[in-house]
Amino acid sequence: MNIDIVTLLEQNPILLIFVVLAIGLGIGKIQFGRMQLGSAIGVLISAILMGNLGFSFNADALTIGFMLFIFCVGIEAGPNFFGIFFRDGKHYFILSLTVLSSALAITYFMSSYLELDFGFSAGMMAGSLTSTPILVGAQDALKTGLATVPSDITMDKVRENLSVGYAIAYLVGLTSMILMAKLLPKFQRQNLHDSATQIAQERGLDTSAQRKVYLPIIRAYRVGTELVDWTDGKNLRELGIYRQTGCYIERIRRNGILAHPDGDAILQQGDEIALVGYPDSHARLDPSFRNGKEVFDRNLLDLRIVEEEIVVKSDSIAGKKLSDLNLSEYGCFLNRVVRAQIEMPMDLNIVLAKGDILQVSGEKSRVMGLAERIGFISIHSQMADLLAFCSFFILGILFGLITMTFGQVTFGLGNAVGLLLSGITLGFLRANHPTFGYVPQGALNMVKDLGLMFFMVGIGLSAGDSIVSYMSQVGPQILGVSLLVSVIPVMIAYLVGAYVLKMNRALLIGAIVGARTCGPAMDVVNEQAKSTIPALGYAGTYAIANILMTLAGTFLIIIT
């Protein structure tokens, strides 16, 4: 049996889409040194190649891809978006705006100077900043009629220009940002590791880039004379057992009676105490504890140690420092702090925001008590609230249909902005109401990535048949402008952050990478800093940058 692959793909568009995806995802895994192309550019290259071979697909049919992508971006940004102005937040907003406004100005003036065809500018800017939301905003403005297409060019031609501009500029944007992440620290007097160490000392951060986290363990000891002498008649509150040992006294057996001690309890000779702490804390215990006798008693050691992810919700906690939680009062151990899917350094002075996730371990009842105070336990469920997901998706589309008229000008939000706003709203509500709108992070990532991949297939196939001619005609101009748009805004943001905002250099470089929404470059920065401290800056700018870039894509295509 003979199978004509070309005919098969032409007659089966769904098969064509997934063949393009499979090839593109394989290309995305290719590495050049330490730089990996990534899924988005891999699928775009695959789609362009297939389009150049003559395969085509109705790009409008894949519109659902970018709609799902931008909606999920909003959901992820929602919990932290409204807390952007907590500690250093204004600095992060200024940096994001600096990168975006300077990139917008350079793109607009260079495109006008070179007289590039309509559509190239938005594609170039999106690729140069490695920001798909810019491309999404521009595409949606065209689709909804917010942007007026010149009479001498067709809509298909504009889509080709967007796609080609994005594809050529993306590699320049990705490569230049990774190189700048390596070079920027060399322009300062203090190296990045020293900058990270400096702010760590100022704020009490854990500077380790690869912290090992263990569950606490339980060991029991009989109180001897040395320990009684060491306590000197002080109660547990006065002693500050945790501050001195890193362990909590969870149970006491006295005269055969088991009890949970409060801060007023005073240790007596012959007491049997159950201590909860990390293994290294037990190993460092004062000899006064160990010189009694370790006790192996099932009832005394029968404590359930759990590890839970607590989502910050309480209005009384949001806006306060991590140190204000007084975890020692609850007998809980903080293992990680995660914001916008970025693991934060263990900074006791970090200002908490709604939606932050604290990974906490300890005895179950104590962890639950802490969760009741600050928020709620993250739902460990594989079930998504699809009703809320679909309802807010519909709401976003309806937002996008709203139009306003000012004189002779009619203006509307468009699908991209409407879905972004509804996604932010759903994410914010999810952070405040644990049983509402829950979508497992893995499911959200898959929907977002698959939506982005479908979008890339659509624009790549539509541009593929003309990519060769474009490269010879405007390739050099696009490469030159892309380099300017990639590099100059980063340098301006660095100067503003360093000399106007007076920011710590480790936080500053992390924030610039976040403003460029370039995840691969963040790995380079953390490696040079030998710390996760730059992630504080990255998380500060990343959410607001995604929002602003979607708006910028719409704005740029309208004014060009």
Q: Over the stretch 305-344, which tens digit does the pLDDT of each residue have?
A: 888 888 887 878 887 888 888 777 777 888 888 876 667 7
Q: Got the DSSP string for 198-251?
A: HHHHHHT----SS------EEEEEE--HHHHHHHTT--HHHHTHHHHHSEEEEE
**H/E run at residue 219:** strand 217-222
pLDDT band at 389 (very low <50, low <70, confident <90, very high): very high
* Confidence (pLDDT) at 468: 67
Per the CB < 8 A criterion, the answer to whether 317 and 374 are in contact is yes
Q: Which of 198-202, 474-478, 479-483 has the lowest mean pLDDT?
A: 198-202
Q: Over the stretch 124-155, which tens digit does the pLDDT of each residue have?
A: 999 899 888 888 888 888 877 777 888 888 88
* Confidence (pLDDT) at 188: 66
Q: Which of 104-113, 163-172, 196-205, 492-501 has the lowest mean pLDDT?
A: 196-205
* Confidence (pLDDT) at 157: 82
pLDDT band at 407 (very low <50, low <70, confident <90, very high): low
Q: Return left, alpha or beta for 326; rule: phi > 0 is left, psi -120 to 50 is alpha, else beta.
A: left
* Confidence (pLDDT) at 209: 46
pLDDT band at 200 (very low <50, low <70, confident <90, very high): low
* Confidence (pLDDT) at 95: 92
Query: Smallest Cα–Cα separation from 309: which of 381, 260, 221, 237?
Result: 381
Per the CB < 8 A criterion, the answer to whether 275 and 250 are in contact is yes
Tally of helices (H runs) and strands (E runs) in the chain: 24, 14
Mean pLDDT of the chain: 80
Per the CB < 8 A criterion, the answer to whether 492 and 106 are in contact is no
**H/E run at residue 217:** strand 217-222
Better-predicted residue by pLDDT, 552 or 468: 552
Q: Tokens in use for 214? A: 């263990």
Cα end-to-end span (Å), the chain: 54
- How far, in Å, CA of 452 to CA of 327, rounded? 41
Residue 115 has pLDDT above 90, yes or no: no
CA–CA distances in Å: residue 14 to residues 56, 204, 248, 449: 12, 54, 59, 18
Highest mean pLDDT among 150-159, 284-293, 422-431, 487-496 belongs to 487-496
* Confidence (pLDDT) at 125: 93
Residue 21 has pLDDT above 80, yes or no: yes
Overall residue count recorded for the chain in this entry: 560
- How far, in Å, CA of 462 to CA of 142, rounded? 15
- How far, in Å, CA of 500 to CA of 495, rounded? 7
DSSP letter assigned to residue 351: B
Q: Which of 122-136, 207-221, 409-423, 481-495 has the lowest mean pLDDT?
A: 207-221
Q: Tokens in use for 481? A: 């402008």
Residue 524 has pLDDT above 80, yes or no: no
Q: Tokens in use for 239? A: 């002693």
Q: Give start and end residues of each alpha helix (H) in 53-191.
A: 63-81, 89-114, 120-128, 132-144, 155-183
Query: Smallest Cα–Cα separation from 9: which of 53, 61, 63?
Result: 53
* Confidence (pLDDT) at 390: 93
* Confidence (pLDDT) at 494: 92
- Which stretches does DSSP call E strand in 303-373? 305-312, 332-339, 342-344, 357-363
Residue 156 CB: number of other CB atoms within 10 A?
12
Residue 161 CB: number of other CB atoms within 10 A?
24
Bridge partners of 203, per DSSP, are none
Per the CB < 8 A criterion, the answer to whether 104 and 515 are in contact is no
Q: Which domains are delineated in the chain?
A: 5-200+394-559 (1.20.1530), 224-291 (3.30.70.1450), 306-377 (3.30.70.1450)
Q: Which of 79-93, 137-151, 213-227 has the lowest mean pLDDT?
A: 79-93
Q: Got the DSSP string for 138-155?
A: HHHHHHHTSSPPPTTS-H
Mean pLDDT of 264-279: 86
Residue 201 has pLDDT above 70, yes or no: no
Residue 211 has pLDDT above 70, yes or no: no
